A and B are shown apart, each in its own frame.
Chain A
């Protein structure tokens, strides 16, 4: 693992792949190191920020690649189940691009098992890997100015649920009544990096 400095209070660890990023994330959280502020997995990195007054970042940079990695992470826990009503505005278009029937798009989207790669774009917005390759469609050419909370969407290799109302360019397959972001809950999101996710077909 290569460790880059990210300013005076950050280290960016290259893990080579997503699964190792999730395992390193778990290892850092389990190690209970003093002064750590944020641990943020990315596609093949983990960013660690720390308080330099409490934590010597030079020493942390040597320590991080030596941490024993757990075999399994959040993947061991039960998947988060998200019920979906598949009536999205872009379902027919996705079917056309993919050369499938809308029913087949729904079947493939709800059959796959997903992993939360990382969160970003907006609070609680998880980028889910594991999308059926036939459904890897480009994002819309012009983004919508408002996508409602609970919209279930895909773009490129990722699936996602919009946790709150926001602009968005992903293609909408359906909607869920599950709450994906609630600041009064702890944690506010049911998703976290490394968590597994399944979509189930719900009646409208």
Chain B
């Protein structure tokens, strides 16, 4: 068992989410930075669908009843195990009764704590992910919560000492694919979006990243009619300020999507902090 001593500002259980149910109104959910999540699982020899803990802005602490191997990835921070500092992106051994404390990330927003065996809370609709939009899955972690650890038999050996991970850029440039509704915007809108920069609003969460900056003018008025939304969609409500959809985005929406982030840019969007600047290309 893992006992949550303190969750920090927000900590949730995440895996690869609930794909395939969007037509029933179920968000995809799952780890917001799926690249960091997968790395954390690989570092401890887990299959990639095992659940881990997504920690927002660090600050969390966990006590392990039994000895375990963990790895912390994503937003880089200091990991203290029984008071001794360890770096991120490396498997670390936690002795039975050991206290794991996460510092504040030096950059980025979301860190992943994977444990060899995975976090084995009860799945809901095939996933252990907390979906903050629809309320599916376990509640966000609270002090005193106890999380079971899954079986470790048959898992891959630990082969990597530390994974090389590029530092997060101070002003990331996210790549976009125009559309599907770029024709709903004035000709200069894509140029405005890509000249930026935009600032990340404090009202951002796992559903979406709200941006402040040049408003994107529409070419046509009226309502689009609800349609399916993808993760990474840049949706533009009537005020013209773009919202980047992350893992817990609604399955359908009625505002036009001017462009969609490339698959490689979605994890970078998930690491954007309030107040940070971001560019699009």
Contacts and interface: CB of A to CB of B under 8 A. Distances in A.
Given A125-B25, A127-B226, A6 B233 contact: yes
A183 interface: yes
B260 A7 contact: yes
A5 interface: yes
Q: Most A CB atoms within 10 A — which of B134, B225, B227, B257?
A: B227
B179 interface: yes
Dominant secondary structure at the B interface: loop
A135 B125 CA distance: 36
Given A119-B251, A119-B252, A7 B230 contact: yes
Contact of A123 (B134, B225, B230, B233): B134
Given A6-B257, A38-B22, A124-B24, A183 B228 contact: no
A162 to B, nearest CB: 12
Nearest to B26: A123
Interface stretch (A40-48, A84-92, A169-177): A40-48
Given A47-B230, A127-B226, A5 B179 contact: yes
B179 A187 contact: no
B181 A37 contact: no
A126 to B, nearest CB: 8
A9 interface: yes
A136 interface: no
B226 A42 contact: yes
Q: Most B CB atoms within 10 A — which of A6, A44, A119?
A: A6
A52 interface: yes
Nearest to A40: B228
A188 B24 contact: yes
Given A38-B19, A183-B125, A7 B226 contact: no
B261 interface: yes
B23 A9 contact: no
A187 B24 contact: yes
B23 A193 contact: yes
B176 to A, nearest CB: 9
Q: Most B CB atoms within 10 A — which of A45, A126, A164?
A: A45
A85 B26 CA distance: 28
Interface string B161-182: 0000000000000000111110
Contacts of A127: 226
A19 interface: no
B263 to A, nearest CB: 5
A167 B226 CA distance: 19
B259 to A, nearest CB: 8
A116 B52 CA distance: 36
Given A37-B20, A38-B228, A7 B263 contact: yes
B7 interface: no
Interface string A114-128: 000011111111110
B6 to A, nearest CB: 29
Contacts of A121: 25, 250, 252
B25 A183 contact: no
Contacts of A193: 23
Given A119-B251, A123-B26, A4 B181 contact: yes
B136 interface: yes
A10 interface: yes
A156 B177 CA distance: 34
A120 B257 contact: no
Interface string A184-202: 0001110111000000000
B208 to A, nearest CB: 15
A52 B263 contact: yes
Nearest to B18: A123
Nearest to A5: B179
A12 interface: yes
Interface of A: 4-10, 12, 25, 37-47, 49, 52, 118-127, 164, 183, 187-189, 191-193
17 contacts: A4-B181, A6-B179, A6-B180, A7-B230, A7-B260, A10-B228, A38-B228, A40-B227, A41-B228, A44-B225, A47-B228, A121-B25, A164-B135, A183-B125, A183-B136, A189-B25, A192-B23
Given A4-B181, A47-B22, 11 more contacts: A8-B260, A12-B227, A40-B22, A42-B226, A46-B228, A118-B226, A121-B252, A123-B134, A123-B136, A183-B136, A192-B24
